[in-house]
C-alpha cells in the first residue's frame, strides 16, 4: 500500500498537469521521452503487449512528475519501465491461475469455481515454481520503482529549494561630508594634512602680571648703537 505522503504528492502533481492533450503534443512528448532509447518499445514492450498502452503510461508519468533535466528524466523512465513490468507480472500470474483453474475443472466433479481455484493454487504452490518466482520478480520491480521515486523526489526538492543567486552589488557610495575624497587620499599618502582636518585649539587664558613679549628689533651686524655716534676723524696736522 502506498504511503499517505506518496498518495498526496501524486494527487497534487496530477492536478497540476495531465500531460499533453492534443495528438500533436502527445506525439512530441513521446518522442522526447524516447530520445536516447532506454524505454523504447523494442526494449520494454513485448510482441504480445500493446505499444499504445505503454505510450499512454509514459506520457502520464511525464505529465505528472515534469522532469526538468536528463537525470530526472532517467528516473521517470525507470519508474515507467518498472511499472510496466509489474503489470506484466500481474498478467502472468492471472494467466497461470486461469490455465490451472481450467485444468483442475476438468479433473474434478465439483462445479464450484472456488474449489477449482483452491486446487489450482495448491498445484502451483506445491508442484511449480512459477507462482513463487513471479512473486519475487514483482517484489524486486516494486523496490526498483520505489527507489527511483525517492531519488526523483530528492532531486526535485533540492532543485526547487536552491536559492536564486543575487546579482553582484557594487560598493556603496558614501555621501556624507566625512567621506574621504580621492585627492584627499593622495594628500594623506604624501603626508599632507588639509587645513580643514586641523582641530582648532581653544584660546589660552591670559595670566595676571605676565610679561608681554615684544618683537625685538633686528640689528645689523655693521651698525653701531645710536647713543655712541662714531667720532669724527680729523686729518693729520702738518709739521
Residue 208 has pLDDT above 80, yes or no: no
**Helical segments of the chain, H only:** 4-16, 23-33, 41-44, 51-65, 70-107, 113-127, 130-161, 182-189
For the cut 70, the answer to whether the pLDDT of residue 190 exceeds it is no
Looking at residue 110, what is its pLDDT? 84
Distance CA 181, CA 173 (A): 11
- pLDDT given at position 36: 43
Range among 103-117, 170-184, 188-202, 216-230 with highest mean pLDDT value: 103-117
Please state the pTM of the whole predicted model: 0.53
pLDDT confidence of residue 238: 58
Q: How far apart are CA 65 and CA 156, in angstroms?
A: 9
C-alpha cell at 205: 587664558
**Percentage of the chain modeled with pLDDT above 90:** 41
* Residue 61: strand, helix, or coil: helix
Look up cell 483452491; give the residue: 118
The whole-angstrom separation of Cα 59 and Cα 67 is 12
Report pLDDT digits (tens) over 35-83. 444 555 568 899 999 999 999 999 999 999 999 999 999 999 999 999 9
C-alpha cell at 54: 505503454
pLDDT value, residue 73: 94
> What confidence category does residue 34 fall into, taking pLDDT thresholds of 50, 70 and 90?
very low
For the chain, the first-to-last Cα distance in angstroms comes to 159
By residue count, the chain amounts to: 239
When pLDDT is averaged across residues 6-15 and rounded to a whole number, the result is 62
* Sequence spans of domains, the chain: 4-161
Residue 21 confidence class, pLDDT cut points 50, 70, 90: low
Cβ neighbours of residue 105 closer than 8 Å, sequence gap 6 or more: 116
Q: Which of 4-18, 68-82, 114-128 has the weakest average pLDDT?
A: 4-18
Provide the pLDDT for residue 11. 61
Amino acid 181: pLDDT: 55
| Segment of 13-22, 131-140, 216-225 carrying the highest mean pLDDT | 131-140
* pLDDT tens digits for range 101-111: 999 988 888 88
Centre a 10 Å sphere on the Cβ of residue 124 and count the other Cβ atoms it contains: 19
Residue 222 pLDDT > 70, yes or no?
no
Q: Please provide the average confidence, as pLDDT, over all residues in the chain.
A: 74
Amino acid at each position: 500500500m502506498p504511503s499517505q505522503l506518496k498518495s498526496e504528492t501524486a494527487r497534487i502533481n496530477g492536478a497540476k498537469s495531465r500531460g499533453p492533450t492534443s495528438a500533436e503534443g502527445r506525439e512530441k512528448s513521446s518522442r522526447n521521452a524516447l530520445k536516447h532509447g532506454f524505454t523504447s518499445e523494442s526494449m520494454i514492450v513485448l510482441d504480445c503487449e500493446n505499444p499504445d498502452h505503454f505510450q499512454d503510461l509514459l506520457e502520464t508519468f511525464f505529465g505528472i512528475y515534469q522532469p526538468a533535466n536528463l537525470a530526472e528524466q532517467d528516473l521517470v523512465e525507470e519508474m515507467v519501465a518498472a511499472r510496466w513490468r509489474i503489470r506484466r507480472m500481474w498478467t502472468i500470474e492471472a494467466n497461470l491461475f486461469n490455465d490451472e483453474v481450467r485444468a483442475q475443472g476438468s479433473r474434478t466433479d465439483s462445479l464450484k469455481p472456488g474449489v477449482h481455484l483452491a486446487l489450482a493454487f495448491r498445484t502451483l504452490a506445491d508442484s511449480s515454481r512459477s507462482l513463487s518466482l513471479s512473486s519475487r520478480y514483482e517484489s524486486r520491480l516494486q523496490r526498483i520503482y520505489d527507489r527511483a521515486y525517492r531519488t526523483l523526489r530528492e532531486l526535485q526538492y533540492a532543485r526547487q529549494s536552491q536559492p536564486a543567486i543575487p546579482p553582484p552589488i557594487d560598493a556603496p557610495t558614501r555621501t556624507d561630508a566625512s567621506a574621504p575624497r580621492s585627492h584627499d587620499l593622495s594628500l594623506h599618502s604624501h603626508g599632507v594634512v588639509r587645513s580643514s582636518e586641523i582641530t582648532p585649539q581653544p584660546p589660552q587664558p591670559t595670566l595676571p602680571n605676565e610679561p608681554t613679549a615684544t618683537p625685538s628689533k633686528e640689528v645689523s651686524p655693521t651698525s653701531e648703537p645710536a647713543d655712541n655716534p662714531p667720532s669724527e676723524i680729523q686729518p693729520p696736522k702738518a709739521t
